[in-house]
């Protein structure tokens, strides 16, 4: 039987004719009488060869889609495997780096502890030896005085004047030892007191490669409505334009200023105090960033930036803005750049919690980019942002 009971294979069960047509509506092969007079009258019928060709075209199109999707999944699988390999390698490298960094810190602390304990032991030995010397002299003097005192005590009982006079002369003139008046030394604990951990931490900074760097603002790039402090570590937005020279390197539309120190290698970290400002922009940009007209914060434009608006909204300006969930509003933002590693990270500098990290590949030197934005009406207090300087 063929196609839903239409007769023997190749023949119509009702009319006995060959099944040479295909009914598209019911998707069955039919004979000529079925198509003209029978139950398939009025349906769209085509020759079986034509229907087969059409179905094969549909099948081919479906196969193309399946192969395309299969190719896409293969590519995706390869990407997943590459990422798995990269994750394994990067995690192992990071673990090794962490172990090396902490080993360096432990070695430093062990060395500091050893030096300090040896110093304490040496000082203790010196003090004890000096006290032993004084003790010996005191005992020697006391013993001699006792020898002189005994005859004096005996003469107190006699009535012989010459004997008393003789003993008195001996006691007064026969003392070969000087009175021991050397100062009594003590163990001076105050030499070792004070903020021990802080002192060690300050020395530890000498071995730490990345500490907050005291960067400065390049006043020649500052928008005319931005005032740069004398020490060039603070920038204050102003309502009125300042009397500045208009140069090609100065921003004329965006209220931005660049940092003075260029970054073209190594790892760098600095912090910016934002206090209670309700809006600001912080990041890094290629030194070739446009200074005229509006600029767009995008990595594809050579800018990696974090923005803050309305007193609560933090956004990472990736190729699409990414709103961040920040529970603790930091007063200071840390910015970390690993040039060779292609990393720009932003931190809550008080909690040392990562806010956002960009991964990229740098092709030009970078400059820090800052904006305190416009003057915030009704906001009391100072509206400046300041580059934090770690006082040593």
Percent of the chain with pLDDT over 90: 45
pLDDT at 4: 40
Which pLDDT does position 185 carry in this prediction?
82
237, 278 Cβ separation under 8 angstroms? no
Q: Above 90 in pLDDT, residue 383?
A: no
Ranges 95-104, 159-168, 171-180: which has the least confidence: 171-180
Q: Which of 98-107, 206-215, 332-341 has the lowest mean pLDDT?
A: 206-215
Question: In Å, how far from its chain's centre is CA 212?
Answer: 12
pLDDT at 389: 82
Q: CA-to-CA distance for 218 and 216, rounded, in angstroms? A: 7
Given this model, what pLDDT does residue 200 score? Answer: 79
Residue length of the chain: 392
Amino acid 216: pLDDT:
95
pLDDT value of residue 186: 83
Q: What per-residue confidence (pLDDT) applies to 219?
A: 93
Cα–Cα distance between 314 and 308 in angstroms, integer? 5
Listed range (198-207, 218-227, 257-266) with the worst mean pLDDT = 198-207
Closest CA to 223 of 248, 247, 257: 257
Q: Which residues pair with 226 in a beta bridge?
A: 237
Euclidean distance between CA atoms 36 and 87, whole angstroms = 69
3-state secondary structure of 186: coil
Residue 253 sits at the vertex; the CA angle it makes with 248 and 254, to the nearest 5 degrees, is: 105
- Checking if the pLDDT of 194 tops 90, the result is no
More confident residue, 246 or 324: 324
pLDDT at 82: 92
Please name which of 372, 307, 366 lies closest in space to residue 337, comparing C-alpha atoms.
366
Nearest to 294 by CA among 254, 250, 247: 254
Q: Which pTM does this prediction carry?
A: 0.63
Residues 57-106 pLDDT 10s = 899 999 999 999 999 999 999 999 999 998 999 889 889 988 988 898 89
On whether the CB atoms of residues 248 and 291 are closer than 8 A, the answer is yes
Q: Is the pLDDT of residue 201 over 50?
A: yes
pLDDT in tens, 349-368: 988 889 999 999 999 999 99
- Looking at residue 319, its pLDDT comes to 95
User: Could you give the maximum distance between any two Cα atoms of the chain, in Å?
Assistant: 175
Task: Tell me the pLDDT tens digit for each residue of 210-231.
Answer: 778 889 999 999 999 999 999 9
Strands 303-309 and 280-286: antiparallel
Q: What is the pLDDT of residue 36?
A: 79
Position with higher pLDDT, 382 vs 326: 326
d(CA 234, CA 392): 20
Residue 175 has pLDDT above 60, yes or no: no
d(CA 237, CA 373) in angstroms, rounded, equals: 7
pLDDT, tens digit, for every residue of 283-323? Answer: 999 999 999 989 999 999 999 999 999 889 999 999 999 99
CA 299/CA 316 separation, integer angstroms: 11
Q: Between 209 and 374, where is the model more confident?
A: 374
Contact 218, 185 (CB under 8 A): no
Average pLDDT value over all residues in the chain: 86
- State the pLDDT at residue 290: 92
Confidence label for 371 from pLDDT (cuts 50, 70 and 90) = very high
DSSP state string for 208-239: -S-------B-GGGS-TTEEEPTTSSEEEE-S
The pairing of strands 385-387 and 234-237 is: antiparallel
Q: What is the pLDDT of residue 88?
A: 93
């Amino acid at each position: 039987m063929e196609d839903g009971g239409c007769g023997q294979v190749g023949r119509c069960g009702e009319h006995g004719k060959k099944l040479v047509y295909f009914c598209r509506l019911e998707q069955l092969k039919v004979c000529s009488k079925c198509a003209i007079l029978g139950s398939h009258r009025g349906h769209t019928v085509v020759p079986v060869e034509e229907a087969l060709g059409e179905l094969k075209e549909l099948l081919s199109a479906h196969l193309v889609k399946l192969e395309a999707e299969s190719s896409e999944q293969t590519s995706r699988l390869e990407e997943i495997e590459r990422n798995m390999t990269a994750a394994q390698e990067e995690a192992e490298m990071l673990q090794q780096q962490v172990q090396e960094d902490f080993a360096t810190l432990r070695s430093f602390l062990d060395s500091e502890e050893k030096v300090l304990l040896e110093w304490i032991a040496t000082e203790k030995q010196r003090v004890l030896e000096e006290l032993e010397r004084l003790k010996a002299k005191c005992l020697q003097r006391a013993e001699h005085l006792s020898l002189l005192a005994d005859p004096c005590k005996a003469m107190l009982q006699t009535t012989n004047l010459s004997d008393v006079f003789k003993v008195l002369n001996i006691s007064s003139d026969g003392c070969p030892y000087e009175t021991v008046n050397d100062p009594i030394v003590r163990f001076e604990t105050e030499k070792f007191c004070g903020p021990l951990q802080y002192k060690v931490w300050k020395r530890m900074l000498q071995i730490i490669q990345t500490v907050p760097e005291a960067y400065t603002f390049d006043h020649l790039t500052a928008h005319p409505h931005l005032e740069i402090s004398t020490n060039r570590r603070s920038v204050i937005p102003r309502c009125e334009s300042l009397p500045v020279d208009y140069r090609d390197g100065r921003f004329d539309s965006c209220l931005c200023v660049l940092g003075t120190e260029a970054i073209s290698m190594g790892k760098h970290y600095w912090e910016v105090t934002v206090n209670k400002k309700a809006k600001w922009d912080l990041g890094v940009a290629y030194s070739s960033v446009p200074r005229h007209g509006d600029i767009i914060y995008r990595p594809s434009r050579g800018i990696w930036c974090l923005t803050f608006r309305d007193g609560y909204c933090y956004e990472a300006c990736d190729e699409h803005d990414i709103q961040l969930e920040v529970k603790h509003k930091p007063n200071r933002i840390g910015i970390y750049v690993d040039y060779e590693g292609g990393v720009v990270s932003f931190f809550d500098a008080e909690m040392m919690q990562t806010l956002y990290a960009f991964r990229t590949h740098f092709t030009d030197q970078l400059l820090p980019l800052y904006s305190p934005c416009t003057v915030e009406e009704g906001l009391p207090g100072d509206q400046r942002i300041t580059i934090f300087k770690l006082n040593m």
